[in-house]
Amino acid sequence: GQQVMQIPQYQHVQEGEDFTTYCNSSTTLSNIQWYKQRPGGHPVFLIQLVKSGEVKKQKRLTFQFGEAKKNSSLHITATQTTDVGTYFCAGVGGTSYGKLTFGQGTILTVHP
Amino acid sequence: DTGVSQDPRHKITKRGQNVTFRCDPISEHNRLYWYRQTLGQGPEFLTYFQNEAQLEKSRLLSDRFSAERPKGSFSTLEIQRTEQGDSAMYLCASSSSKMGYEQYFGPGTRLTVT
């Protein structure tokens, strides 16, 4: 079945440093979504990427979808303490509409 | 819009007992999903409803698990003869087929089987 791998598992940064997490799928995706989960909270939708090579920005966050639609990345510029949490990518395969296959997540810690 | 709600938020049960969880999606959302999340892992898909029809069920879901969405609104997830391995956070999410695939998650029900 479809598998989504995410690296790194943990990332510790000083406030103001940049952060990147990478996501790879074993199969071609119809779209990929990114979610953020704060400690003790539930996943919150950040963005959806659909097109090959797509790049989207949300303030300090930049999301990319690979040309082959099998990989993606999330980059945060100049991290803040409010960025703390676990960032998940989640892929939607071509044959399973709606169903998300989540990566293991990257836990981001920001030291002030 | 009050978001997705789940009840109860916490459930402690003894092994072998049955438990039932409820999810109330965002009112205009026709799609509803159940996921299970264990510590340090991403949510794992369990099942999916479009309106009242259960359209997909994970192969990992044993026969002890059953879900319903009788009127296309709220949904219930029942686990029969619970096992310690069922201990996890059970998350419900909803979405609208008119707005793409983005999903809105509820706060979850944390199940502890002793």
Q: What is the pLDDT of residues A26-75, one digit of tens each?
A: 999 999 999 999 999 999 999 999 999 999 999 999 999 999 999 999 99
Q: Which residue(s) pair with B23 in the sheet?
A: B6, B75
How would residue A93 be classed by pLDDT, with cut points 50, 70 and 90? confident
pLDDT score for B1: 53
pLDDT score for A106: 98
pLDDT over 90 (residue A94): no
For testing contact with chain B, the best of A86, A100, A102 (most B CBs within 10 A): A100
Using only the alpha carbons of chain A, give its radius of gyration: 13
pLDDT over 70 (residue A78): yes
B25 touches chain A (CB under 8 A): no
Instruction: List, as one string, the DSSP characters of chain B.
Output: ----EEE-SEEEE-TT--EEEEEE--TT--EEEEEEE-TTS--EEEEEEETTEEEEE-TT--TTEEEE-TTSS-EEEEE-S--GGG-EEEEEEEE-TTSTT--EE---EEEEE-
CA distance B114 to B14: 5
Six-digit token string for B19? 């438990």
Six-digit token string for A93? 């395969």
Residues of A in contact with B59 (CB under 8 A): 1
Q: What is the pLDDT of residues B56-88, one digit of tens each?
A: 899 878 899 999 999 889 999 999 999 999 999
Residues of B in contact with A44 (CB under 8 A): 105
Residue of A nearest to B32 (CA): A98
